[in-house]
């Protein structure tokens, strides 16, 4: 598996609650020169709110970020106005802080995380021929980032080690065909990141209901592409609370490729990570929408639009050919 990312081998001794395979996600301001010029991200054009654009168009990562920077520059240009409401001035004054806080998962970084997690699972599988990894995806999440990430990790495992085909698979929660769990079967819940942990806790709860009682031999694991540093330090508390419903609950192994800083709240929302692969999270869109509302109030007759980054149209949810 030489062509898969080998960062797992370098960081397996870290003592955190969430084990980090790779490195810290860079701030957007520090990675601009590495962004792609390939037009492979679909976005809404001329949008006046999240998900409401007139046209769809494909742009590159660099265009996506340039558009965001231009949007923020327009807001900063309001700084000299004397008629700004106090709440609006706070938005204008914090634009630079907001931009400095954004971390960004590019296509290249996404692929590195997928390969790193694939390498980790493949190493475990090849140690014993009876082992299997099953990625559990709730049926309603199959067309979301959870489903795509699980499929991408499985595909990366098989592409690197074809003999592992069949031993790494994706299972929908409405089709859990396993009759039992033992130490050779690992069930994995995967996602790009987790804000509160609620969705991941729901999936793990489903596993406990389906296979109850679960013995201490069972292996359940959470894989994230990015984990916040507060999660790395103390875990995901919504998962830990499953102990209240399942006395036999044993905290799953938590793995992530990247770690990201826990940022301050801006305009009532915490806006951390954006990315090229999916619609954004961590209150990112809501933060941009509040910034847009301020810009629109003082724009006069000038047409203003939401930045493209507020709503990326992921390939796994929409047909890019239409």
Q: What is the DSSP string of 131-187?
A: -EEEEEE-GGGTTSHHHHHHHHHHHHHHHH-GGGBTTEEEEEGGG-------TTEEE
Give me the domain span that covers residue 53: 36-104+269-313
Give the integer Cα–Cα distance in Å for 260 and 296. 32
Pick 173 or 186 by higher pLDDT: 186
Residue 16 and residue 116 in one domain: yes
Q: Is 117 helix (H, G, I), strand (E, B) or coil?
A: helix
Question: Is the pTM here over 0.85, yes or no?
Answer: yes
132, β-bridge pairs: 185
For residue 6, give both structure tokens: 């080998």
Residue 171 lies in a domain: yes
Pick 248 or 5 by higher pLDDT: 248
We report the CATH number of the domain holding residue 215 as 3.40.50.2020
For the cut 70, the answer to whether the pLDDT of residue 230 exceeds it is yes
pLDDT bucket at 111, cuts 50 / 70 / 90: very high
pLDDT in tens, 231-241: 888 888 888 88
Determine the pLDDT at residue 138. Answer: 77
Give the integer Cα–Cα distance in Å for 311 and 121. 32
How many domains would you assign to the chain?
A: 2
Residue 218 and residue 291 in one domain: no
CA 40 to chain centre: 18
Determine the pLDDT at residue 314. Answer: 81
Pick 156 or 279 by higher pLDDT: 156
Residue 221 and residue 87 in one domain: no
Residue 48 is classified by DSSP as S
pLDDT bucket at 5, cuts 50 / 70 / 90: low
Pick 182 or 123 by higher pLDDT: 123
Distances (CA, A) of 83 to 87, 130, 268, 292, 318: 12, 70, 22, 17, 43
Pick 258 or 321 by higher pLDDT: 258
Give the integer Cα–Cα distance in Å for 23 and 10. 10
């Amino acid at each position: 598996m030489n062509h898969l990312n080998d960062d797992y081998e370098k960081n397996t001794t870290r003592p955190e609650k969430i084990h980090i395979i790779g490195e810290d996600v860079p701030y957007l301001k520090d990675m601009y020169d590495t962004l792609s010029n390939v037009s492979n991200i679909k976005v809404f054009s001329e949008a006046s709110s999240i998900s409401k654009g007139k046209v769809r168009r494909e742009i590159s990562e660099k265009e996506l970020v340039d558009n965001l920077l231009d949007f923020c520059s327009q807001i900063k240009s309001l700084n000299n106005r004397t008629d700004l409401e106090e709440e609006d001035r706070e938005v204008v004054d914090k634009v630079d802080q907001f931009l400095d806080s954004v971390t960004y998962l590019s296509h290249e970084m996404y692929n590195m995380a997928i390969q790193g997690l694939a390498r980790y699972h493949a190493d475990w599988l090849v140690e014993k021929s009876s082992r299997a990894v099953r990625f559990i995806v709730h049926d309603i999440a199959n067309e979301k980032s959870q489903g795509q990430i699980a499929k991408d990790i499985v595909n990366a495992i098989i592409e690197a080690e074809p003999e592992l085909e069949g031993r790494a698979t994706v299972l929908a929660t409405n089709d859990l065909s396993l009759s039992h769990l033992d130490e050779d079967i690992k069930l994995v819940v995967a996602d790009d990141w987790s804000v509160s942990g609620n969705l991941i806790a729901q999936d793990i709860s489903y596993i406990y209901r389906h296979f109850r009682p679960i013995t201490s031999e069972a292996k359940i694991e959470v894989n994230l592409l990015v984990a916040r540093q507060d999660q790395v330090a103390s875990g995901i508390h919504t998962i830990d609370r499953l102990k209240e419903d399942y006395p036999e609950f044993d905290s799953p192994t938590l793995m992530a490729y990247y770690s990201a800083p826990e940022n301050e709240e801006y305009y009532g929302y915490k806006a951390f990570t954006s990315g090229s692969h999916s619609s954004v999270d961590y209150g990112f869109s809501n933060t941009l929408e509040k910034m847009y509302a301020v810009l629109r109030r003082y724009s006069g007759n000038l047409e203003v639009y939401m930045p493209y980054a507020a709503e990326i149209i992921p390939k796994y949810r929409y047909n890019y050919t239409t």
